[in-house]
Amino acid sequence: MGMAVDVRNRIAKRAAKEIHDGLIVNLGIGIPTLVADHIPQDIHVLFHAENGVLGTGPSPDPGKEDPALCNAGGFPITTVLGASYFDSATAFGMIRKGYIDITILGALEVSEKGDLANWIVPGKRVPGMGGAMELAQKAKKVIVLMNHVNKQGESKILKTCTLPLTARKSVDLIITDMAVMEVTEEGLVLKEVMAPYTVDDVIRNTEASLKIHAAVSTIE
């Protein structure tokens, strides 16, 4: 099922709370690109794009787009003071050397062990894996933003992924339109629920086993 703009922004706003001063953060295509719009002005962060930009800012206002400035997905961006430009080889070198503190990615499926599948649905044409494989393996923290269920109403958070994997045991935190779940050595831990959903709603729509945090909070 499709996701309304306000719900997408709600997920992005929650993800922005994971970003602290001084971090280098890579934003994937889709919902993750909205995260830059929700960073408080007193938080200084450098957003990294695989096409060769360090220091991207919020989305430009309509009519203010610069055709020479875009992210890895081809969408218009702004830059902040101190931004730098370089080739894609340098951008990927930064990823592979482990300089990215957080990567925020979209996903098709995530397993309870933190396996990530986000690059292909068999039988459908795709441009390729892009930087997802390197980012999932090399970033210090991996956050996934996604729908909780697919178009058929089936859970996208599974015991075992059914789609080809991007990386194994790579995801640290999952934020959906229903909940916030942390991947731990003991399994998935439900920490927050997005109103109007309840803990029971999340359990019912999650194939993976869930451990319930002792103090589950609700995001109003």
The set of catalytic residues is 50
Query: Per the omega criterion (within 30 degrees of 0), is the bond before 196 cis?
Result: yes
Tally Cβ neighbours within 10 Å of residue 9.
15
Single-letter residue type at 149: V
Cα–Cα distance measured from residue 61 to residue 80, given in angstroms and rounded to the nearest whole number: 15
Q: Are 116 and 165 in contact (CB under 8 A)?
A: yes
Residues 6+ apart with CB under 8 A from 72: 29, 49, 50, 51, 130, 131
Length of the chain: 220
Tokens, residue 97: 């050397």
Q: How far is CA 153 from CA 22, 64, 84, 103, 186, in A?
A: 39, 38, 43, 27, 27
> How much of the chain is in helix, strand and coil states, percent to nearest 5?
20, 30, 50
